[in-house]
Chains A and B, each alone.
Chain A
Amino acid sequence: MNTATQAVDLLPAYLGNHILLSVSAIALGMVISLPVAIASARSRRASGLLLAGASVIQTVPGLALLALFYPALLALSAVTTRQFGFGVPALGFLPALLALTLYAMLPVLRNTIVGLAAVDPAIKTAARAVGMTRPQSLLHVELPLAAPMIMGGIRIAAVWVIGAATLSTPVGQTSLGNYIFTGLQTENWTFVLFGSVAAAMVALIVDRLLALAETGLALHSRLRLAAASTGIAALLAASLYPLAGSADTTVVIGAKNFEEQYILSALIARRLADSGISAKTRSDLGSTIIFRALVAGDVDVYVDYSGTIWANQMHRQDEPGRSAVLNQLTRWLAEKHRVRNLGSLGFENAYALAMRRDRADALGIRTLIDLQTHAAELKIGGDFEFFSRPEWAVLQRTYGLRFALQRSYQPTFMYRALRDGDVDVISAFSSDGRIEQYGLKLLEDPKGALPPYDAVLLVSPQRSHDRRLEAALKPLVGAINLPAMQRANLMVDGDKRTPEEAAIWLAEGMGGLRFGVGREEVRNGRRHQVRQH
Chain B
Amino acid sequence: MIHFEQVTKAYGGNPAVLRCLNFQVRPGEFVSLIGRSGCGKSTTLSLINRLIEPTSGTIRVDGQDIATTNPVALRRRIGFVFQGIGLFPHLTIAENIGITPRLLGWPAVEIKTRVRELLDLVRLPPTCESRLPRELSGGEQQRIGLARALAARPRIMLMDEPFGALDPLVRDELAADYSVIHRQLRLTTVLVTHDMTEALLLSNKIIVQHAGGIVQIGTPQKLLSAPADEVVAALIESPRRRIGQLTRLLEQGSML
Contacts and interface: CB of A to CB of B under 8 A. Distances in A.
Contacts of A128: 51, 75
B100 A131 contact: yes
Contact of B100 (A123, A125, A130, A220): A130
Contacts of A132: 72, 99, 103
Interface string A111-144: 0000000000011011111111100100011001
A220 B133 CA distance: 14
A131 B82 contact: no
A129 B90 contact: no
B86 A129 contact: yes
Contact of A130 (B73, B75, B84, B89): B75
Nearest to A121: B84
A145 interface: yes
Given A130-B99, A130-B100, A133-B72, A123 B89 contact: yes
A136 B103 contact: yes
B71 to A, nearest CB: 9
A126 B87 contact: yes
Contacts of A133: 72
Given A122-B82, A136-B103, A129 B88 contact: no
A100 to B, nearest CB: 32
Contacts, number: 50
A2 to B, nearest CB: 54
A144 to B, nearest CB: 5
Contact of A127 (B73, B84, B88, B152): B88
Interface residues of B, number: 20
B148 interface: yes
Contact of A125 (B82, B90, B99): B82
A238 to B, nearest CB: 33
A125 B50 CA distance: 11
Interface string B182-194: 0000000000000
Interface residues on A, range: 10 to 19
Interface string B90-122: 100000000110011000000000000000000
B163 interface: no
Contact of B72 (A126, A131, A144): A131
Contact of B86 (A126, A131, A140, A145): A126
B51 A126 contact: no
A126 B103 contact: no
B82 to A, nearest CB: 6
Nearest to A145: B90
Contacts of A145: 89-90
B103 A130 contact: yes
Contacts of A141: 88, 90
Nearest to A141: B88
A129 B89 contact: no
Contacts of A220: 90
Interface of B: 49, 51, 72-73, 75-76, 80, 82, 84, 86-90, 99-100, 103-104, 148, 152
Interface pairs A-B: 8 shortest CB-CB: A126-B86, A131-B76, A129-B80, A122-B84, A131-B75, A144-B90, A122-B86, A130-B100
Given A125-B51, A126-B86, 6 more contacts: A126-B88, A129-B49, A130-B99, A132-B103, A140-B88, A145-B89
20 contacts: A122-B82, A122-B86, A123-B88, A126-B80, A128-B51, A128-B75, A129-B80, A130-B76, A130-B99, A131-B73, A131-B76, A131-B152, A132-B72, A133-B72, A140-B88, A141-B88, A141-B90, A144-B90, A145-B89, A145-B90
